[in-house]
Amino acid sequence: MTNDPSRSAESASSTAGLSYRSAGVDVEAGDQLVDWLVESETKEQPRKNQIISGIGGFAAVFRASFSQYKKPCLVAATDGVGTKILLAAQSGRHGAVGQDLVAMCVNDLVCSGAEPLFFLDYYATGRLQGEQAREFLASVRAACHSVNCALIGGETAEMPGVYQPGDFDAAGFAVGVVDEDHMLGPKNVRSGDVVLGVSSSGFHSNGYSLLRKVFAQDLEAWMDRLLTPTALYVNLVLELHRAGLVKAAAHITGGGMENLPRVLPRGLELPLQDWAWPQAFVEVQDRTQMSREEMLKTLNCGVGMALVVAPENRVAVWSAIERHQFRANLLGELRPMANAEADAQVVY
């Protein structure tokens, strides 16, 4: 095949004057966002003494100094905020889901008893708009600070053609540390232990493919409740863990109460008791006619974290939950199953 000079000239003419910026990617805007994030950081940044190199470099460097742990284990978690992000984009409230992103990761970490160390975010959009990105990152940073977790780095991706105008997406990555001999989990749990529910702040970041359809006709009226950020449970769970008052913890996310068996040993089941659902969940059930079991297997129904505790510690844990401005509910008492080798389960 021979080259066609006329075609080459035509092609060159059609692309003359193109640049990365005119193609839709503004590198300078990204650099300005990084500069803002670095310059606006407060002196109270968590774990400042352990950050060797943070935001702005090719990779973040964190000093691994864990002298207080006999057998330190790193714990990692990653997550996003699901289709809730569509509502944030639609309403122009980008900061509404920054805390969600952090919470979905660090709430998972703390279920092993891990103390969050640092967090990285990934923010992608079709066209980077500084004010919206800053609003989002300010929310991420505030959530990190509230649980003593360093926002150590991240990535901002501008991808025209992949994302439509106004759309954006985000993912989060968290790393924590726990002593291997003091991890929370199934090995600590026994028959007769009680399970306490810690109230959610709303729908959190799960079930939004359903919720957007349920509230499609009056979405604006529900927007505030739909965009209420996911609650952060790290400080509560770590306080209880350090005091030896909790055996296991389950973050109630997608799948609802089906997250509980993940932290229970084989041969145990939880007959699930009733509790008063917040009105928003009652409204979903009224509109969808989903059964109680379907609701509990889909949404958190007012319980964002479940704690397994010894019966003698029930009162102390209940008090701590309320002191941290959450509501407590008794979800039930664990009992043995007929088959001691069967997978743990929730009985609805």
Q: Report residue 27 as tokens.
A: 């590198």
Give 29: exposed, middle or buried? Use CB within 10 Å, 0-12, 13-18, 19+: middle
| CATH top-level class of 23-182 | alpha beta
First-to-last C-alpha distance (Å) of the chain:
71
| pLDDT of res. 90 | 94
State the CB neighbour count (10 A cutoff) for residue 273: 12
Give residue limits of the domains in the chain: 23-182, 186-347
Instruction: Provide the angle, in degrees to the nearest 10, between the axes of the packed helices 98-109 and 234-242.
Output: 20
Cβ contacts of residue 78 below 8 Å, gap of 6+?
A: 105, 171, 172, 173, 174
3-state secondary structure of 84: helix
| pLDDT of res. 54 | 76
| pLDDT of res. 40 | 74
CATH of domain 186-347: 3.90.650.10
Q: Please name which of 244, 223, 246, 215 lies closest in space to residue 233, comparing C-alpha atoms.
A: 246
Phi-psi region of 24 (alpha: psi -120 to 50; beta: other; left: phi over 0): left
Beta strands in the chain (DSSP E): 51-53, 61-62, 72-80, 115-125, 150-158, 168-179, 194-199, 248-251, 268-271, 303-309, 328-333, 335-336, 345-347
Encoded amino acid at 151, one letter: L
- Mean pLDDT by groups of 10 residues along the chain of 348 residues: 54 58 62 76 78 82 91 97 96 95 98 98 92 93 96 92 92 98 97 98 97 97 98 98 98 97 98 98 98 98 98 98 98 97 97
CA 116 to chain centre: 13
3-state secondary structure of 90: helix
| pLDDT of res. 85 | 96
Beta pairing, strands 248-251 & 303-309: antiparallel
| pLDDT of res. 42 | 63
Per the CB < 8 A criterion, the answer to whether 54 and 152 are in contact is: yes
| pLDDT of res. 51 | 87
| pLDDT of res. 30 | 65
| pLDDT of res. 43 | 62
Q: How far apart are CA 256 and CA 346, in angstroms?
A: 11
pTM, to two decimals: 0.89
Q: Please name which of 267, 36, 258 lies closest in space to residue 141, comparing C-alpha atoms.
A: 36
